[in-house]
Chains A and B, each alone.
Chain A
Amino acid sequence: MSTLEIKDLHVSIETEQGVKEILKGVTLTVKTGETHAIMGPNGSGKSTLASTIAGHPRYTVTSGTITLDGEDVLAMSVDERARAGLFLAMQYPVEVPGVTMTNFLRTAKTAIDGKAPAIRTWTKEVKEAMAQLRIDADFAQRNVNEGFSGGEKKRVEILQLELFKPKFAVLDETDSGLDVDALKVVSEGVNRAQAEGNMGTLLITHYTRILRYIKPEFVHVFVDGKIAEQGGPELADRLEEEGYDRYLAGAGSAVQASI
């Protein structure tokens, strides 16, 4: 049983107009076996939270803590965080020229496990995982994300989730840009990983559609860099019907402007 604990997290970025605070005190605890959904309007800071957990250098933590089983995540480099068991499925996965998927997956797996996987079982595992996510076998020979469609990139993120077996997965809008079938395939992938019983999930989404397949125990509403409300799955349905107006009325003008 692991715990990812975020306490009173404040995050800013450097912009051309100066330093801008984006996260304004986020507190959130995720435990193994739990699924938390984060919903909220555009620009409210959801991706900022995800990237900060992963350690993207653009984001500066000005106060607050992130710990994984008590270990200070903020003191770790990006690769150390991944090896400690954090995984971010990115909203916009990057194309990496010159590196084949096969080579990339093996290198990452080796880094995460601290030893190279046994070739034969690994190759088989990759093949099977690809087949389950309906990723064509020839993707293995293509460069990482290069020329992949939006939906294909998302499937490949979930492929990595299944292969790397993290303690905590942050899925940043993995459902966006997926057609109905793909949504189902990808959700099944996440559920398989969750069903192994060693993972907690933070699922960022705009749509309740995916929540038909992936059932969160907790729903958090993100507004203007803070959690404005928390609840169970029923909160998601209410958001779908009512939108975010209720929260925005009380929020700062910056949010209004960014919508």
Chain B
Amino acid sequence: MTGITEEATKDGARIGAPSIEGFTEEGESLSPTPVVTGPLGGAASKSHSHGGGYGIPDSSRAGRLTSYRLADFPELKGTEEEWRFTPLRRLGGLHKDALDGAAPAVVVEAPESVRVETVGRDDSRVGSAGIPEDRVSANAWAHFADATVVTIPAGAELEERISVNLTGAGLAASAQHVVIVAEEGARAVVVLNHEGQAVVSENVEIVVGDRADLTLVTLQEWTDDSIHVSSQQVKVGREAKIKHVSVSLGGSLVRLTPTVRFAEPGGEAQVFGLYFADAGQHLEHRTFVDHAQPNCISNVLFKGALQGKDAHTVWVGDVLIQKQAEGTDSYEKNQNLVLTDGCRADSVPNLEIETGLIAGAGHASATGRFDDEHLFYLMARGIPEDVARRLVVRGFLHEIIQKIGVPSIEEHLVEAVERELEAGDN
């Protein structure tokens, strides 16, 4: 009967860690010196070799291999740091097969002023926000047929949200590519609705122009047998804002890697996530915030609930504060609520700090069981056990839902969480 135990540090000790030589802004070159990670990141920060591509092994997040070429990534063994929690058997071949199945159909609902295009691989906007950071992402890059590009023109302030509906229709392994561009000063809300049945590796590039303000919500509500691996890379311009919200509810295996890179000073990133894993589901989220520029703010908050046998969730939160990123203010937190026996929640915050001249850096990770004492208190007030359980879960996840700031999505999610809870009752 333990309550929610919280490990939180407002970082002090790690400030002023040795700087890393040989950094570039893209973080592609490698660091010969050891870096410091958060206390829970011990195992996660062990050095490992990428073998191909750029060469030498490195423990820093910044040193991770990035390449457009699939051949640069060695085949996966499952022991690699970034794959150690993922059951490769359940990837549906996304890491090794040719992804030539039909990708989920894309339908975009958007106001007139928004440009929606289907473009070829050679379009200049493809590759504008990211380079694949792992083999599954590179495999999608090697195989996608065409890309959907959604552009919110400079200065547009959209009240109406943009929906990008991606609907799968089968289990043939496929590749998808989406590019979202919020041009300078634009303000918009974009929702990626992932629905239907699919086995898909997806790359989403998100360009937030200078002083733009973009909210991007990615909803994963696939069928129970679907497999979805999605690399979502956000490039944040000068004094621009991104709110990136991941919501993973449906799918056999969902693995999302949202990466935020500050390309110019003064940016602000809020990276939120909510997941609810039922029996047998594997829901994995790996966030990376790359403070490559001074005076940027980032706040990462992921909350997850787990219920049922072999429900497994993973959150790994990497934050890198580079030497030049003075004035950074960053915080990341993951909280999990375990509702039944037989669930597993992995939670690993990793903080690397290369300059002492920051406003703040902290992280927290807490995994609590829905506690017998909580239950007793609520039941002693006449509330039946199942109602008590729902009350607590709703409350727990509501913190994220209310941060989304889009009422129609908030309502939708409240209903979706209710459905998850009902599913767990029988």
Contacts and interface: CB of A to CB of B under 8 A. Distances in A.
Interface stretch (B32-40, B117-125, B388-396, B416-424): B388-396
Contacts of B378: 96, 99, 104, 108
Interface in A64-107: 77-79, 81-83, 88, 90, 93-100, 103-104, 107
Interface in B368-386: 368, 372-374, 376-385
A94 B374 contact: yes
Given A97-B396, A99-B395, A103-B391, A82 B377 contact: no
Nearest to A93: B377
Contact of B376 (A78, A111, A112, A164): A78
Nearest to A83: B382
B390 to A, nearest CB: 9
Given A97-B396, A100-B395, A104-B391, A90 B377 contact: yes
A74 to B, nearest CB: 15
A108 B373 contact: no
A191 B385 CA distance: 31
A174 interface: no
Contacts of B384: 79, 111
B381 A164 contact: yes
Contacts of A111: 381-384, 387
A252 interface: no
B355 to A, nearest CB: 34
A27 B396 CA distance: 43
B110 to A, nearest CB: 35
B398 interface: yes
B399 interface: yes
Contacts of B377: 90, 93-94, 96, 144
* Most chain A Cβ neighbours within 10 Å, of B368, B372, B380, B397: B380
Contacts of B3: 95
A6 to B, nearest CB: 18
A12 interface: no
B395 A82 contact: no
A143 to B, nearest CB: 7
B392 A79 contact: no
A55 B379 CA distance: 10
Contacts of B391: 99, 103-104, 107
Residue from the set A56, A81, A88, A99 with the largest chain B CB neighbour count within 10 Å: A99
Contacts, number: 79
Contacts of A112: 381-382
A108 B395 contact: no
A102 B204 CA distance: 41
B383 A108 contact: yes
A108 to B, nearest CB: 4
Contacts of B398: 98
B136 to A, nearest CB: 34
B395 A57 contact: no
Given A56-B376, A107-B391, A98 B396 contact: yes
Contacts of B383: 79, 82, 107-108, 111
Contacts of A98: 392-399
A160 interface: yes
B380 A78 contact: yes
Contact of A82 (B368, B373, B381, B392): B381
Interface residues of B, number: 26
A38 interface: no
Contacts of A77: 379, 385
Most B-side CB within 10 Å, residue of A81, A83, A96, A160: A96
A79 B395 contact: no
B382 A88 contact: no
B4 interface: yes
Nearest to A79: B379
Contacts of A56: 376
B371 to A, nearest CB: 8
A94 B372 CA distance: 11
Given A94-B374, A111-B387, A160 B381 contact: yes
Interface in A117-161: 143-144, 160
A160 B393 CA distance: 22
A171 interface: no
A88 B392 contact: no
Interface string B47-64: 000000000000000000
Contacts of A83: 382
Contacts of A82: 379-383
Given A78-B380, A112-B382, A94 B373 contact: yes
Given A99-B395, A100-B395, A111-B387, A78 B374 contact: no
A54 interface: yes
A95 to B, nearest CB: 8
17 contacts: A55-B380, A78-B379, A82-B379, A82-B382, A83-B382, A88-B380, A90-B380, A94-B373, A96-B378, A97-B368, A97-B392, A98-B399, A99-B378, A100-B395, A107-B387, A107-B391, A111-B381
- Please name the 8 residue pairs, one residue from A and one from B, whose CB atoms are nearest each other, closest first: A98-B395, A82-B382, A108-B381, A98-B396, A78-B379, A111-B382, A112-B382, A94-B377
Interface of B: 3-4, 368, 372-374, 376-385, 387, 391-399
Given A90-B377, A97-B395, A111-B384, 16 more contacts: A54-B376, A57-B372, A79-B382, A79-B384, A82-B380, A82-B381, A82-B382, A82-B383, A94-B376, A96-B392, A98-B394, A99-B395, A103-B391, A107-B391, A111-B381, A164-B382
